[in-house]
Amino acid sequence: MDSIDGTVQVRGLRKRFGSVTALDGLSFTVTPGQVTGFVGPNGAGKSTTMRIMLGLDSADAGEALIGGRAYHALRTPLHEVGAMLDASAVHPSRRGRDHLLWLAHSHRIPVRRVDEVLEQVGLASAGRRRAGGYSLGMRQRLGIASALLGDPPVLLFDEPVNGLDPEGIRWIRGFLRSLAREGRTVLVSSHLMSELEDSADHLVVVGRGRVIADTSVRELLATASGDRVSLRTDARTEAMTVLAAAGATVASTGRDTLTVSGPSAEKVVQLLSGAGVPFSEISAHRATLEEAYMELTGDVLEFAAAPVDEEDAR
């Protein structure tokens, strides 16, 4: 085996489309052996970055390197980088298998490999049907099959979960993890953090063409300040007094509801019971990746909706 280094480096990428700055000095590194989530709101520059990685778009400044080399310098790109940018990029009149066949021919990959990857993504029986009749999920699978064709150490997927049904989402999560376990570099973009919650190990969060966070999932969760307890009680004032005295931060979120940050739910129950304050409902709320992400990207949303009053939103 050639010693192919699967590290992907992005250094100081800049790209403008007319007056819009798509990438504003983007830098990060994607390492082999783990799933790296590439997250950011729509318009953050994720797809542009991936197109530059594949040499499809040119950067105004900076570079994207695969194993230390620019994409154009790769002699057999399908054996080094597998990519799915757009699942619908298939000629609708061509059969799914034929789509893989021409790709295989470009690199003299044997035909049996085409059937192998079709089998691998669960499209073996649909391969001889025209791609125009495929469901979105089947197109995603075909796109993934085309990325796997050359058995590359680096895999780039742009929004692979978009539009999949729950079964498909579960399949793709397991699949991404298994590719990373094999030692490959796996970069997966998404505009929804929740889609990556169970599959990514590392996260590169972007907004407005810049890296906002480059961190492991565990670290990001740890920094999130979202742990809190919701409480419903008729004795609001008494409850607030008792909890505040115990060092908790208490906020009134409604006529008879409180949000408590600091102590655990058990501790809150203990404090209130001890003081004889009645309450009817209590629930613990753990910070999710999504919340941590919202905290990070809250002020850099490209197309943010007008803020909605929290009461109305519930």
Partner 1 sequence: MSEALLTGAPRVTARGAGRMTGAVHAEWTKLRTLHSTWWLLLGIVLCTVGVGALTTGSLSAGDCLARRTCDEDTVKLSLTGVWVGQAAMAVFGVLAVTAEYGTGTMRVTLAAIPSRLRVLAAKAVVVAGLAAVVGAVSVLGSLYLGRVLVLDAGFTAEAGYPPIGLGDGATLRAVVGGVLYYVLVALLGVGLGAALRDTAGTLTGVFLLLYGFPLVAAMLSDPDWEKTAKRLSPTEAGLSVLATRNLEALPIGPWAGLGVAASWAVGVLVVGWAVLKGRDA
**Candidate segments 143-151, 193-201, 223-231, 248-256, binder of partner 1 by CB under 8 A:** 143-151
| Minimum distance, C-beta of residue 213 to partner 1, in the bound complex (Å) | 27
Ranges within 42-71 binding partner 1 (CB under 8 A): 51, 54-58, 71
Query: Are 201 and 217 a contacting pair, CB within 8 Å?
Result: yes
Q: Which of 72, 218, 255, 314 binds partner 1 (CB under 8 A)?
A: 72
Query: Are 82 and 71 a contacting pair, CB within 8 Å?
Result: no
Burial environment of residue 307 by CB neighbours within 10 A (0 to 12, 13 to 18, 19 or more): exposed
Q: Which of 14, 94, 129, 191 binds partner 1 (CB under 8 A)?
A: 94
In the shown chain, the binding pattern of residues 224 to 253 toward partner 1, with x for contact by CB under 8 A and - for none, equals ------------------------------
> Any idea what DSSP says for residue 190?
E
Determine the Cα–Cα distance for residues 311 and 258; give it in Å rounded to an integer: 13
Q: Which of 91, 128, 170, 286 binds partner 1 (CB under 8 A)?
A: 91
Q: Which of 14, 79, 191, 285 binds partner 1 (CB under 8 A)?
A: 79
Determine the Cα–Cα distance for residues 220 and 159; give it in Å rounded to an integer: 21
**Candidate segments 3-11, 190-198, 209-217, 275-283, binder of partner 1 by CB under 8 A:** 3-11
Residue 193 backbone dihedrals phi, psi, to 5 degrees: -60, -35
Determine the Cα–Cα distance for residues 245 and 211; give it in Å rounded to an integer: 41
Query: Are 9 and 64 a contacting pair, CB within 8 Å?
Result: yes
Structure tokens, 314: 């519930």
Q: Which of 83, 123, 169, 272 binds partner 1 (CB under 8 A)?
A: 83
The site for partner 1 (CB under 8 A) is made up of 1, 3-4, 6, 32, 51, 54-58, 71-72, 74-79, 81, 83, 85-86, 88-95, 98-99, 101-103, 105-110, 113, 116, 146, 148-151, 153, 182-184
